[in-house]
Amino acid sequence: MSVKTLMINGQMVSASEDQTLLDVLRENGIELPTLCHLDGLTPIGACRLCLVELAGSNKLHPACMTRITEGMEVTTHSERLVKYRRMILELLFAERNHFCSICVINGQCDLQQMGYDVGMDHVRFEYQCPAVEVDASHERFIMDHNRCVLCTRCVRVCHEMEGAHTRDVMGRGGSSRIITDLNQLWGKSGSCTGCGKCVQVCPTGALFEKGRSAAEVVKQRDFLVYIKTAREKHLWIQ
């Protein structure tokens, strides 16, 4: 395996030629936001968050899909890229119905975390508020299209790892949907093995296990003591 030398943000870096640019960046401690990328799945460059500038090219290139070449000059955080990454995230939030406050994955969501990472304090685009469906027909899982960002992690894990190819993408642009089999209800699918891999890889609350939120209810019976003693202990003042 031959070694290539490239310049990343003005720093000389060497890497082996079979690595993607994203791998090399991460190996060198340069963090880029990603949503569609997941170690173990074939990269597809769908979310566009890892876009970088390459010297000599007017286009922006997704790092996850870019093979490194000798002498490549890469910029990862130019003003333009930082601006575009935030715009991409805002567009993702504006496209479907992302209500963090009532979402099952609130607090553990990759999309939410990306928003924090790029400092997104509001969305400048008009919310599309599409009327999309929730498929709760499966015995154990739910697909909520309101939260889907079309990263296709579920499609790829089902095809590449489980070998079932239950999922695919239907439609184009804003009307694209992740479908089960030939656009059937999940609960009626003949190919789904119920393995739950799609649920595990989903970066948002679009795929989740039934009953999770109920199971998470924890009674906090020590609140009485808190109320009675919090003032003396100054528990609410740091």
Partner 1 sequence: MDSIMGTETPGNANHRARPRIATLWLGGCAGCHMSFLDMDERLMDLAPRISLVYGPLVDRKEFPDQVDVVLVEGAVANEDNLHHLQEARKKSRLLVAFGDCAVTGNVTSMRNTQSSAGVVMDRSFVENASLHPGVPRSGGILPRLLDRVIPVHQAVPVDLFLPGCPPSADLIFYLISELLEGRSPDLSDKLKYG
- Determine the distance from the C-alpha atom of residue 222 to the mean position of all C-alpha atoms in its chain, rounded to a whole number: 37
Whether 140 and 210 have beta carbons less than 8 Å apart is answered as: yes
How would you classify the pairing of strands 141-144 and 73-75? unpaired
b/e 23-38 (16+ beta carbons within 10 angstroms → b): bbbbeeebebbbbbbb
Distance of closest approach, residue 237 Cβ to partner 1, in angstroms? 7
- What value does the CA radius of gyration of the chain take, rounded to a whole number of Å? 21
Instruction: Indicate whether 123 belongs to the interface with partner 1 (CB under 8 A).
Output: yes
Distance of closest approach, residue 197 Cβ to partner 1, in angstroms? 26
Nearest to 145 by CA among 108, 118, 171: 171
Question: Which residues in 124-153 contact partner 1 (CB under 8 A)?
Answer: 124, 126-127, 129-132
The contact mask relative to partner 1 for 76-95 (x = CB under 8 A, - = no) is -----------------x--
Q: Give whichever of 64 and 103 is closer to partner 1, judged by the CB atom.
A: 103
The contact mask relative to partner 1 for 92-121 (x = CB under 8 A, - = no) is -x---x-xxxxx--xx----x--xx--xxx
Chain residues in the site for partner 1 (CB under 8 A): 93, 97, 99-103, 106-107, 112, 115-116, 119-124, 126-127, 129-132, 231, 236-238
